[in-house]
Amino acid sequence: MADTKIDWHACAQALKIDGRAFIGGVRMPAAGGQTYECFSPIDNRKLADVASCQEIDVNLAVACARTAFNDRRWAGLSPRERKQTMIRFADLLIANKEELALLETLDMGKPITASLNVDVNSAANTLRWFGEAIDKVYDEIAPTADNTLAMITREPIGVVGAIVPWNYPILMACWKIAPALASGNSVVLKPSEKSPLTALKLGDLAIEAGIPAGVLNIVPGFGEQAGTPLAMHMDVDCIAFTGSTGVGKKIQIMAGQSNLKRAWCELGGKSPNIVFADCKDLNKAATASAGSIFYNQGESCNAPSRLLVERSIKDEFVKKILAELKNYQPGDPLDANTSMGALVDCGQMQNVLKYIASGKAQGAALLAGGEQMRTETGGFYVSPTVFDNVTNDMTIAAEEIFGPVLSIIAFDTEEEAIKVANDTPYGLAAAVWTQDLSRAHLVAKRLRAGTVHINSYDEDDITVPFGGYKQSGNGRDKSLHALEKYTELKTTWIKLN
């Protein structure tokens, strides 16, 4: 729960927002002076004029990053020195927690309680964890012949371009920059044009923490104007992208068309959540299922948007889901008691409403929600929406909606549940609810997803990898596995005479 004593509206009025880019350690406007207006989805108030970076700005940021990498002002520090700086960086996020949380909520629409207690904390924890980890990672000596020594070492890859989405702005930024910086790289970060404000603030805090100028650069702007020049850049060694599958495909093409930079993509999902009739605690399953699809207004890549329920318990389970909806009614995101906020912008709200209309038109049964809410605020809110009698070929079951819309699909057999669950181009997450241990393991093995939960959803820890099978992407964020994305393996042979 956020501190209910804080008057977040008053804090918002007093907030000074700097929308300039952060390049070479200083704030600056786009070279050509371009800006765009950044509005809050809470009530459509204007928040700031944000630098709209273009190719020339990206080129400058990459040049600063390259210079910083080549002179080894960061890469050349010992892991322990980098660790200490990263921990200071994490501490500064916590010291500035209220401002960061407020920026996140104003910019993106999520409830202040979530920004404060989840997003900013998790972002700081990510920086701290990779900082802490980096002086505990050892390299290898290969078991070669007696008269040779073959060292296998990991080196920073160089200049990392990171392009991130708007749904968890500060956290997605830190999932990229924490392992990239910890392993000694320089970074150019492009936040989403819809939610750039916390990312920009990260630049100021990085300098204050002692990360040398030029090591972290932040170029706000639109995908084609700022993202494409970064993905196409001949002097960027790796592009770490989180976003939609459609743009992820373009990123892979751009990597191939330019310098064959490493292209890591964390993409969309349409995750199945399978509830068997032998589930021991249907109340717990309903609470977790509703909580995970409606958290963050349904704008989560791993949200369990397809609820597969065994037919014999479906009616009972649907009632339990509907009973949960009272906990997710949209409210004022700046009120500490609100659990569902605004969708990120008008366009996203229109998309969600379009999918709801398609569900109705294709014959799904709308049991709850389906409407725009809080229109008097000028903001973009949609009620938690539940469709029953969905079939997996309907558009609402096939496509990622990225909003508070749950599709319920009945099944009769375990085999059918697995088939429907895997019948999607995505493979980010899944869940199985059963008290049969063998069934839990056997079904989990057959689900083609990067994360499978058993009798839970949304378990989360920085120590475990996060990423997808199939068109949900490649590579993994979080855990020590993330370091693989930002390092090259080098073998050094030494002849022993």
Report the catalytic residues.
266, 301
Using rule CB under 6 A, residue 297 touches ligand NAD: no
Residues 398-457 binding ligand NAD (CB under 6 A) are 400, 402, 428
Q: Is 183 in the site for ligand NAD (CB under 6 A)?
A: no
* Shorter beta-carbon distance to ligand NAD: residue 175 or 411: 175
Rounded (to 5) percent helix, strand, coil in the chain: 45, 20, 35
Q: How far apart are CA 428 and CA 267, in angstroms?
A: 8
Count other Cβ atoms within 10 Å, centred on residue 361: 10
Give the orientation angle of helix 79-95 with respect to helix 97-108, to 10 degrees.
70
Of 310 and 400, CB closest to ligand NAD:
400
How many other CB atoms are found less than 10 A from the CB of residue 75?
18
What mask of x and - would describe binding to ligand NAD in positions 319 to 358, judged by CB under 6 A? ----------------------------------------
Q: Tally Cβ neighbours within 10 Å of residue 7.
A: 11
Non-local (6+) Cβ contacts of 315 within 8 A are none
C-alpha–C-alpha distance, residues 108 and 342, integer Å? 8
Candidate ranges 153-161, 207-215, 265-273, 478-486; the one touching ligand NAD (CB under 6 A): 265-273
Judged by CB under 6 A, the residue of 60, 267, 293, 364 near ligand NAD is 267
Q: Where does this chain touch ligand NAD (CB under 6 A) — which range of 150-158, 200-208, 242-250, 329-337? A: 242-250
158 binds ligand NAD (CB under 6 A): no
Name the phi and psi angles at 249, rounded to 5.
-65, -40
| Smallest distance, ligand NAD to C-beta of residue 343, A | 11
Contact between 50 and ligand NAD by CB under 6 A: the answer reads: no
Q: Does 271 bind ligand NAD (CB under 6 A)?
A: no
Query: Smallest gap, in angstroms, from Cβ of residue 451 to ligand NAD?
Result: 10
Burial of residue 11 (number of CB atoms within 10 Å: 0-12, 13-18, 19+): middle
| Cβ-based nearer residue to ligand NAD, 8 or 264 | 264
Q: Is 376 in the site for ligand NAD (CB under 6 A)?
A: no
**Is 228 near ligand NAD (CB under 6 A)?**
yes
* Rounded least distance, CB 151 to ligand NAD, Å: 34
Amino acid, single-letter form, for residue 489? L
Phi and psi at 422, nearest 5°, equal -85, -5
Does 192 bind ligand NAD (CB under 6 A)? Our answer is: yes
Number of residues that bind ligand NAD (CB under 6 A): 32
Question: Which is closer to ligand NAD, CB of 212 or CB of 223?
Answer: 223
Torsion, Cα 130 132 133 136, to 10 degrees, reads 160
Q: Which of 424, 405, 437 is nearest to 290 (CA)?
A: 405
Cβ proximity to ligand NAD: between 179 and 184 the closer is: 179
223 scored as a contact of ligand NAD (CB under 6 A): yes
Q: What minimum distance in Å lies between the beta carbon of 220 and ligand NAD? A: 9
8 Å CB contact between 395 and 405: no
Using the rule CB under 6 A, which residue among 109, 111, 161, 243 binds ligand NAD?
243
Angle between helices 169-182 and 97-108 (to 10 degrees): 130
Is the Cα dihedral 368, 393, 285, 167 positive or negative? Answer: negative
Question: Which two tokens mark 483?
Answer: 């370091």
Decide: is 383 part of the binding site for ligand NAD (CB under 6 A).
no
CB of 9 to ligand NAD, least distance (A): 27
How deeply is 349 buried, as exposed, middle or buried, from its count of CB atoms within 10 A (0-12, 13-18, 19+)? Answer: buried
CB of 228 to ligand NAD, least distance (A): 4
List the one residue from 54, 242, 392, 407 that touches ligand NAD (CB under 6 A).
242
Please list, in sequence order, all residues whose beta carbon lies within 8 angstroms of the beta carbon of residue 249, skipping any fewer than 6 positions away.
none
d(CA 103, CA 328): 22
252 or 287: CB nearest ligand NAD = 252
Which helix (H) or strand (E) element contains residue 249? helix 245-257
- Nearest distance, CB of residue 191 and ligand NAD, angstroms: 6
CA distance 396 to 309: 17
- Which residue lies nearer to ligand NAD by CB, 231 or 285? 231
Residue with tokens 């505990």: 136
CB of 39 to ligand NAD, least distance (A): 16
Report the interface residues with ligand NAD, using CB under 6 A.
Answer: 163-167, 172, 190, 192-193, 222-224, 227-228, 231, 242-244, 247, 250, 266-269, 301, 400, 402, 428, 466, 468, 472-473
